[in-house]
């Protein structure tokens, strides 16, 4: 139990930092981009640390194959979003500087067309991230549906939100759901994980169950 609690603490600490970096660099963007870039780059590695800790903390009471597949898919999603973040920022930084320094409007227009042409690379990585994250969330929800910390109802919410996010991304592909005028459920999936971390924290604070002591006559 002490090892599970240690893994839970790692999962919660890294998860809180990952969610904070996600919402502060992708959703609300309250900081200058020099800071936002660092938060954007940190999100993937932090999510990998968190899901590793989360898996180890819930492994004993997890749901076998679904639990393992969910953790693996979310881990791959962390790698994919890091690739997306680096590619996206690189192309906008490098080509953005070239556009601003262009000697004439014709060159500037050409560089802008190149920028939006190569932008499809990071857009594709964005969809790949959503696919792995959505599938991973569905598998995790199934695997943790009987875990005493979470329960079937909250697991079902995660599976439904993730499935809806996956469908929206595939239906609107290659356009993002928000750009197509539909709801972006990515923040909803992030909020679900935030509640999962809270429930895990509360679970680790509960006193261990101890069997009642019986008397000599079994009473």
**pLDDT value at residue 14:** 96
pLDDT score, position 76: 97
- Tens digits of per-residue pLDDT, 118-146? 888 988 999 999 999 999 999 999 999 88
- Domain boundaries, position 67: 2-205
pLDDT value for 213: 46
Residue 54 lies in a domain: yes
Q: What is the pTM of this model?
A: 0.86
Cis peptide bond prior to 174, omega within 30° of 0: yes
Cα angle: 107, vertex 109, 111; to 5 degrees: 70
Position 217 in a domain: no
Q: CA quadruple 58, 60, 61, 64: dihedral positive or negative?
A: positive
pLDDT value at position 204? 83
Residue 20: count other Cβ atoms within 10 Å of its Cβ: 15
Asked, for residue 75, whether it belongs to a domain, the answer is yes
Residue 21 lies in a domain: yes
Do the domain assignments include residue 218? no
Decide if 203 contacts 149 (C-beta within 8 A). Answer: yes
With a cut of 50, list the residues of the chain below it in pLDDT: 211-213, 215, 218
Cα distance between residue 191 and residue 196, in whole Å = 9
- Residue 39 in any domain: the answer is yes
pLDDT at 132: 96
pLDDT at 177: 86
Of 119, 48, 112, 111, nearest to 90 by C-alpha is: 119
- Decide if 126 is inside a domain: yes
What domain count does the chain have?
Answer: 1
pLDDT attached to residue 217:
56
Write out pLDDT tens, residues 174-197.
Answer: 888 888 888 888 888 989 999 999
């Amino acid at each position: 139990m002490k090892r599970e609690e240690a893994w839970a603490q790692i999962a919660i600490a890294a998860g809180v930092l990952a969610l904070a970096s996600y919402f502060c660099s992708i959703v609300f963007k309250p900081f200058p981009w020099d800071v936002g870039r660092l938060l954007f780059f940190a999100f993937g590695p932090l999510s990998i640390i968190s899901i590793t800790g989360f898996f180890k903390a819930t492994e004993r009471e997890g749901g076998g194959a679904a639990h393992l597949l969910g953790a693996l898919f979310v881990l791959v999603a962390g790698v994919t979003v890091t690739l997306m973040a680096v590619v996206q920022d690189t192309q906008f930084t490098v080509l953005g500087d070239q556009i601003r320094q262009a000697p004439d409007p014709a060159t500037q227009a050409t560089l802008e067309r190149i920028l939006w042409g190569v932008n499809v690379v990071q857009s594709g990585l964005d969809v790949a991230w959503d696919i792995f994250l959505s599938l991973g969330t569905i598998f995790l929800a199934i695997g943790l549906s009987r875990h005493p910390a979470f329960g079937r109802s909250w697991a079902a919410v995660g599976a439904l939100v993730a499935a809806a996010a996956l469908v929206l991304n595939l239906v609107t592909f290659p356009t993002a759901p928000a750009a197509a005028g539909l709801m972006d459920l990515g923040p909803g999936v992030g909020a679900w994980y935030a509640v999962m971390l809270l429930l895990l924290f509360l679970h680790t604070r509960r006193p261990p169950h101890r069997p009642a002591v019986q008397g000599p006559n079994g009473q």
